[in-house]
Structure 1
Amino acid sequence: MLTALIILWPALAALLVLLVKGPGARKIAFGAALVELVLGVWAWINFVPNGSTQFLLNEPWIANAGIMFKVGIDGISLLMVLLTVFLVPLIILSTAKHTYEKPSSFYALILFMQTGLLGVFTALDAFVFYFFWEVALIPIYFIAGIWGGENRVRVTFKFFIYTVFGSLFMLAAFVYLYFQTPGTHSSEEVAFYQLVLDAGTQSWLFWFLFIAFAIKMPVFPFHTWQPDTYTTAPAAGTMLLSGIMLKMGIYGALRWLLPVVPLGVSQWADVALVLAIIGIIYGAIIAIRQQDMKRLVAFSSISHVGLIAAGLFTLNHHGLQGAMIQMLSHGVNVVGMFFIIDIIQSRTGTREIAAMGGITQNTPFLSVTFLVLLLGTVALPLTNGFVGEFLLLMGVYQYNAWMGAVAGLTIILGAVYMLRMFQRVMFGEKNEITQGFTDLTFNEKAVLVPLVVMVFWIGLHPNTFLMISEPAVLKLLDVIKR
């Protein structure tokens, strides 16, 4: 029942928020998100990291077709649940300085999206997974399309078409796999894992599933929707997309691609790795050339996610564990970076790097938090980014030394574009735009301090989180290599 409560509580709270008018909607949404955080922490406290699925709910859904509403939490899904329940209240709190038209609808959509995200991360049935995959898309479509910036309709429509296109490939693969299960048929995860399919069938199934998940991550060359969508969406929408939603693609590959079609993965792993590594270099080089801070971080996200994807397809312990911890770290860092950019834009009216300068002179709190999150992003030792990138690069290197060397360029290139942005925005002389720049407010500190704490917690004590996923990852590797 705990898993069901974790999934359904945000949706129930969203219905309540819809009844509230004015600024009270944000307060109720924030309170509901804090309750959800407590539920997630309770699940963590009571979770036993032994590789099993816990807090299981398994009820008939479409009983005549053998489709069950089956959800539960193992070590892999628990980390994603914790990331989601941790970030959503901070994202809601980060909107305090903004005034939205129809705020009740805005905050209700955030909570509805949280339900979709948590459903994806806990689903143990293919069609339940697909249902929540689509549920998570609808709220962000409206958030970006209604409250976004210039060209929001065109940009959001492109994002929607891309995602739905990928979803149809995934649905086709799931339907085929369902009909391959023996007897009355089943769409449960374990039934798909037990299928014995020939290499040719697994080969085309690999691409059907890979395309769906690669679009959501996104992996090169399925990334073209991402920079415009991240840039155009309102700040809270961008944080939801980058901090949590892209993890759906990585999680989907872990849960439904690697163990279901292992022969297909072994055939195409080199191609997937090459695409991921191209994304690492491509995203970093384009980020270096950006003058808009938000677009720079958007392209940097492509680069970082490319490394996570590369780790997945190494099919080794370091690569998968690196992907798990880096999903946490990337979520923390990218939400912090986009929030700081939103703060700077709200104070100056621009995101252009060339227009900035001298901000650090009167902003000690902003300067320190900005620098900490930036150093986590560029994987400085003792920060969260270092742990994940070290494990990922070790995994890629074990798979192929040359690929590991090329993927390692992410550390150098990341330092170039991030440190150069920080230098040009924060240092130098003040100008008319930055002259009256003020330091962080209480609300802004309340968002950034927990993120900074997580940067050091994951960096200094990574085993707190690695030990959660370790047994489940080892179990998954056994399924993949069966």
Structure 2
Amino acid sequence: MLTILLILIPIATGLLTLSLGGRSAKQLALIGALAELATALVAWTQFDPAAGAQFGFDYAWIASAGISFAASIDGISMLLVLLTTFLTPLIILSAFGHSYKNPSAFFSLILFMEAALVGVFTATDAFLFYLFFEAALIPVYFLAAVWGGENRLKVTFKFFVYTIFGSLFMLVALVYLYYQTPGQHTSAITAFYDLQLTPYAQGWVFWAFFVAFAIKMPLFPFHTWQPDTYTESPTPATMLLAGIMLKMGIYGLIRLLLPITPLALMQWGTLAIVLSVIGIVYGSIIAIQQRDMKRLIAYSSFAHVGLMAAGAFSITLNGLQGALIQMLAHGINVVGLFFIVDIIFSRTNTRYLDHLGGITQTSPRLSVYFMMLLLGSVALPLTSGFVGEFLLLAGVFEYNNWLGAVAGLTIILAAVYLLRMFQKAMFGKTNSSTEHFKDLTFNERAVLIPLTILVFWIGIYPGTFLKMTEPAVNQLLRFIHN
């Protein structure tokens, strides 16, 4: 019951916001998002990690074809549902300081996207997973295309073509797997785990899934849509893309690709990790060269997701646990950093580091929150990023020492580009853009305080989340190594 509520609440409140919103659209959207968060917290308090999938429902969708509207929550899903429902109200609140044309449509699209994301993370039917996977694309497309920057139409068209192209590969693979199920065909994801596919069949299914999920994350060399889309989109859409939506790709790897194609992993897993590691180094080097803060964080996100994918492809307990905890940590950190860039832009009308400086002199509160979120991103011990990166690197080292050593460069390179960004923007002399810079408002602190709390909660008490996901990860590893 709780799972279906988690899907329906944002849809219902999104429709209410769209039809009755007007000037109160943002308040209605925030109330709906908070109701969704409260429902997720109730599910979390009742959740038993050792009991497997819970709070499920299963209704016949296309009964004659064995396709169901079915979803439930296990430890992996619970983590990502919590991330989605925690970040969405903060993303909505972060938009309170801006005036958007047609706010009813703007805020309702955020809620519709939240519903699709929760659907992706809880679906237990493969075609339902695909439906929500594609549905999440529609709201963010319109958010970027209608409320984005000058080049929004060109950029969003490229994003749309990339993601649709990749999703078609996934659909072909799902249809193939569906017809391989014995007797009365079924599209239950667990039924796909039990298929005894030949190495050749697993090979092409592997690549069909890989292309779909690599575009969504994105991984090198499927990343070219990402920096432009992140930069041109309005900040709430960028937060949704980086904080939550890219996690759909990593979740797809963990939920579908790894357990369904274990033989193909033996053949192609190393190549997948190599591409992931190339993305880490390449994204970091490009980030160092950026002058636009928003674009710098976009490349930083690209580099971080490469490490998460490498850990997942290591198919070790450390690697998979690291990928999951890092998805949570990255979502918190990147949403906070994009919001701070948006605050700076709203006061100075520039995101370029060469045009900034001296902000600490007039904005001590902003400086403190900025530094705490930044330290979480560079994986300082006792912050959120440290736990995930430690486990991820341990998993990649366990797979291959050389690949682990190269992947470890992410810690050094991230410190270079992020600390340099902080130094250029916040220290030095003020100029005409920054000399009258105002410190944080109440609403801005209301967004940053919960994010900062999570940075240290994850870093100091990681067991809160690792214990929740470990039973589900161990079960997944049994499917892979069976």
Same fold (TM over 0.5): yes
Equivalent in the alignment of 1:46: 46
Look up the match of 1:145.
Answer: 145
Would the aligned equivalents of 2:178 and 2:192 in 1 still touch at CA under 8 Å? yes
1:124-155: CA deviation from partner (whole Å, max 9, x where unpaired)? 01000000011111000000000000110000
| Matches of 2:191 and 2:110, distance apart in 1 | 33
Matched, 1:31 2:18: no
Tell me the CA shift for residue 364 of structure 1: 1.3
1:419 — aligned with what?
419
Aligned equivalent of 1:323: 323
Secondary structure of the equivalent of 1:431?
A: coil
> What does residue range 140-219 of structure 1 map to in structure 2 within 5 Å?
140-219=140-219
Q: Would you say the 8 A contact 1:76–1:472 is kept in 2?
A: yes
Give the structure 2 partner of residue 90 of structure 1.
Answer: 90
Deviation of 1:322 (Å): 0.2
> What is the distance in 2 between the residues matched to 1:179 and 1:51?
30
Aligned to 2:388: 388
Deviations along 1:134-192, whole A, 9 cap, x unmatched? 11110000000000001100000100000000110000000000000000100001110
Give the whole-Å Cα distance in 2 for the aligned partners of 1:151 and 1:424: 27
Question: How many equivalent pairs are there?
Answer: 482
CA distance in 2, matches of 1:244, 1:350: 26
Deviation, 1:20, is: 2.3
Distance 2:176 2:200 in 1: 14
User: What secondary structure is seen at the aligned counterpart in 1 of 2:351?
Assistant: coil
The CA distance in 1 between the partners of 2:410 and 2:197, in whole Å, is: 37
For 2:347, the equivalent position in structure 1 comes to 347
Contact 1:51/1:75, CA 8 A, preserved across alignment: no
Amino acid at match of 1:130: Y
> Hey, what's the Cα distance between the residues in 2 that align with 1:266 and 1:346?
50
Matched, 1:235 2:232: no
Deviation at 1:22? 3.0
1:255 aligns with 2:255: yes
Gaps of 5+ in 2: none
* CA deviation map 1:338-367 (0-9, x unaligned): 000000000000000010000001111100
Cα distance in 2 between the residues matched to 1:45 and 1:225: 39
| Paired amino acid for 1:268 | W
- The answer to whether the 8 Å contact 1:166/1:213 transfers is yes
Name the SS of the counterpart of 1:94 in structure 2.
helix
- Alpha carbons 2:21, 2:28 under 8 Å: kept: no
Q: 1:357, 1:427 within 8 Å by CA — same for their partners in 2?
A: yes
Q: Structure 1 CA distance, aligned partners of 2:443 and 2:194?
A: 50
Q: Verify: 1:372 aligned to 2:372, yes or no.
A: yes
Alpha-carbon distance in structure 2 between the residues aligned to 1:386 and 1:273: 21
**Cross-structure match for 2:477:** 477
**3-state SS of the aligned residue for 1:120?**
helix
Are the equivalent residues in 1 in contact too, given 2:145–2:152 (CA < 8 A)?
yes
Q: Which consecutive segments of 4 or more residues in structure 1 shift more than 3 A? A: none
Give the distance between the partners of 2:478 and 2:51, measured in 1 at CA. 11
Q: Which amino acid aligns with 1:464?
A: T
Distance 1:148 1:45 in 2: 39
One-letter amino acid of the counterpart of residue 109, structure 1: L
Indicate if the aligned counterparts of 2:311 and 2:320 stay in contact, CA closer than 8 A: yes
Q: What's 2:108 paired with?
A: 108
Distance in 2, Cα, partners of 1:362 & 1:153: 38
The alpha carbon displacement at 1:446 in A equals 0.2
Cα distance in structure 1, aligned partners of 2:111 and 2:470: 30
- CA-atom RMSD, angstroms? 0.6
CA distance in 2, matches of 1:94, 1:57: 34
Instruction: Please list the CA deviations of residues 173-218 of structure 1 after superposition, one character each: whole Å capped at 9, or x if unmatched.
Output: 0000000000010000111011000101101110000000000010
Could you tell me how far 1:257 is from its partner in structure 2?
A: 0.4
Deviation at 1:51, TM superposition (A): 5.2
Q: Counterpart in 1 of 2:64?
A: 64
- Residue 406 of structure 2 is matched in structure 1 by 406
CA distance in 1, matches of 2:312, 2:268: 13
What is aligned with 1:362? 362
**Match for residue 313 of structure 1?**
313
Q: Is the 8 A contact 1:51 1:475 kept in 2?
A: no
Letter of the aligned partner of 1:283 in structure 2? G
Q: Distance in 1 between matches of 2:241 and 2:356?
A: 26
**Matched residue SS, 1:436:** coil
CA–CA distance in structure 1, aligned partners of residues 19 and 307 of structure 2: 43
For residue 167 of structure 2, give the secondary structure of its aligned residue in structure 1: helix
Deviation per CA, 1:34-88: give whole Å up to 9, x if none.
0000000001000001151000101100101010111000000000000000000
Distance 2:49 2:309 in 1: 24
- Alpha-carbon shift at residue 23 of structure 1 (Å): 2.6
Q: Deviations over 1:270-315 (max 9, x none)?
A: 0000000000000000000000000000000010000000000101
The one-letter code of the counterpart of 2:391 is: L
Amino acid paired to 2:74: D
Quick one: distance in 1 between partners of 2:399 and 2:262?
16
1:277-316 equivalent positions in 2, closer than 5 A: 277-316=277-316
Residues 1:267 and 2:299 aligned together: no
**Alpha-carbon distance in 1 for matches of 2:369, 2:354:** 21
Structure 1 residue 21 displacement after superposition: 4.1
Q: 1:368-393 CA deviation, whole Å, 9 max, x = no partner?
A: 00000000000000100000000000
* Distance in 2 of aligned mates of 1:473 and 1:389: 17
Q: Name the CA distance, whole Å, in 1 between partners of 2:357 and 2:20.
A: 41
Secondary structure (helix, strand or coil) at the match of 2:56 reads strand
Amino acid paired to 1:176 = Y
| Aligned residues of 1:51 and 1:472 also touching (Cα < 8 A) | no
CA deviations over 1:401-420 (Å, ceiling 9, x no partner): 11110000000000000000
Structure 1 residues 90 and 368: CA distance shift in structure 2, 3 A: same
CA contact (8 A) 1:55 1:72 kept: yes
Q: Give distance in 2, aligned partners of 1:167 and 1:312.
A: 20
Alignment partners' CA distance in 2, 1:431 and 1:253: 47
Q: Distance in 1 between matches of 2:410 and 2:23?
A: 42
Instruction: Output the amino acid matched with 2:146.
Output: I
